[in-house]
Amino acid sequence: MYINLVIALLGLLVILAFKGVVPILSILFISVVYRKIKYKEKFKLEKEHIGILIFLLLIGLSFITSIDREASLTHFNRIIRAVIAPVIIFNFLPMKKKYFDYGFVLGGLIFACMGISQYFFELIPYKGGNHLRIDGGYGIWHYSYYITFISVYIFNLFILEEEKRKKILLLIISLTTMFAVLLSNTRSAWLAMVIGIFVALLINKKIKEILILLILSSVLIFSFKDTPIIQRYISKAQTIVDIKKNRSNLGRFEVWTDAYNIFKENPILGVGISNYDRASRKNYKTKPGGRYYSAHSDYLGLLCETGVVGFIGFLSMFVLMLKEAYKKNKLNILLPITTVLLFLGIFESNMNKNAYVYVMYFILYSVINYGIEDKKEIIKEENNDYKESRI
């Protein structure tokens, strides 16, 4: 009990040491501490907790060489809250798998419909040529990546579901969320969704379904390739490989080159969290896509801002998460959405987006840990059955 109390107080001091703490997290944290002390519960340090601690420790070392420590502290505070929030929430309210899935599916459907309604009621916030983009009122980058996560997760639930009526319902909702991803007109989201779907099918050994999906997709695209709407998306998709004229691609390449050069100058600890923009000013070129404030890639961003040390921390966290998922027989659930996350990280600086970082870690941590109460109930039922058999 005393060890738990010491750990709890130290954790509370760490949280309070950073400004801008979300009040509800502090309340939940205190509630977790109270419950653990009252019921003499031990806090078990899982592999994913160790991964999170390694990640925070190693990226935190970049403060030593940071060119703007105040900016680094602000962003580090954001990352700490994001990765610790799901740990606190899950210790406070462990949920059954079915409730997590129900909430995720219902939330995903509502989220998708919010964006799709913009399209049908002609409330598109982003217009111009081939750039009609829905955002559900959340901003295009947050929305497109959220809905991509959601679509792949719900599709995975559809694959795993055995009851026929639920399977049909999940398929309809999954297709709805995929339609929202399409309407977001975000190329990296399209690619991530397709890759996530194929990973979900592969890891669940659905080879026949992969072949059917490929054939159906090819037939549909070929049949309707001359219609205006399909032409619009085909022309957009073709820009993915256009590295000579497409302004967005050219801008990315120049930013990536910039980030790589910064990394070469500061390979060990980088220039400090959230300092890419400041470091790039001294050798800034005129970029065809305009001014960029991040490396437009999580990996190059981590390398130039936290060096090899921080990047090792990032990899450690994900390797330990996947290892824990495998140990708990949940790799077939975690791997598809982790693939989506890691793929999006190639093209976007998602860790610079406040709300996205919260959602990202909540989903990953939740998938590994949900079902806690289910296990407790099974053990309780087994104990009751054993007692009855003794009587």
Give the pLDDT of residue 306: 93
Token pair for 380: 């309780």
DSSP assigned state of 162: -
Give the pLDDT of residue 384: 53
CA pseudo-torsion sign 328, 334, 336, 338:
negative
Among 125-134, 221-230, 244-253, 312-321, top mean pLDDT goes to 312-321
pLDDT(275) > 60:
yes
Average pLDDT across the chain, whole number: 74
Q: Residue 221 — very low, low, confident or very high, per pLDDT cuts 50/70/90? A: low
Q: Residue 289 — very low, low, confident or very high, per pLDDT cuts 50/70/90? A: very low
Q: Residue 220 — very low, low, confident or very high, per pLDDT cuts 50/70/90? A: low
Give the pLDDT of residue 66: 92
Longest dimension (CA), the chain: 82
How big is the chain, counted in residues?
A: 391
Give the pLDDT of residue 244: 63
pLDDT(308) > 90:
yes
Instruction: List the domain boundaries for the chain.
Output: 1-43, 47-94+245-391, 97-241
Measured CA to CA, the distance from residue 289 to residue 360 in angstroms comes to 27
pLDDT(141) > 60:
yes
Residue 72: C-alpha distances to residues 75, 76, 77, 360, 363 (Å): 5, 6, 8, 21, 25
Of 69-83, 109-123, 128-142, 244-258, the poorest mean pLDDT is in 128-142
* Contact status, residue 90 vs residue 371, Cβ threshold 8 Å: no
Predicted structure pTM score: 0.76
Give the pLDDT of residue 21: 47
Percent of the chain with pLDDT over 90: 9
pLDDT(231) > 90:
no
| Residue 277 or 271, more confident | 271
Burial class (CB in 10 A: 0-12, 13-18, 19+), 6: exposed
| Residue 38 or 230, more confident | 38
> How many other C-beta atoms can be found within 10 angstroms of the C-beta atom of residue 16?
11
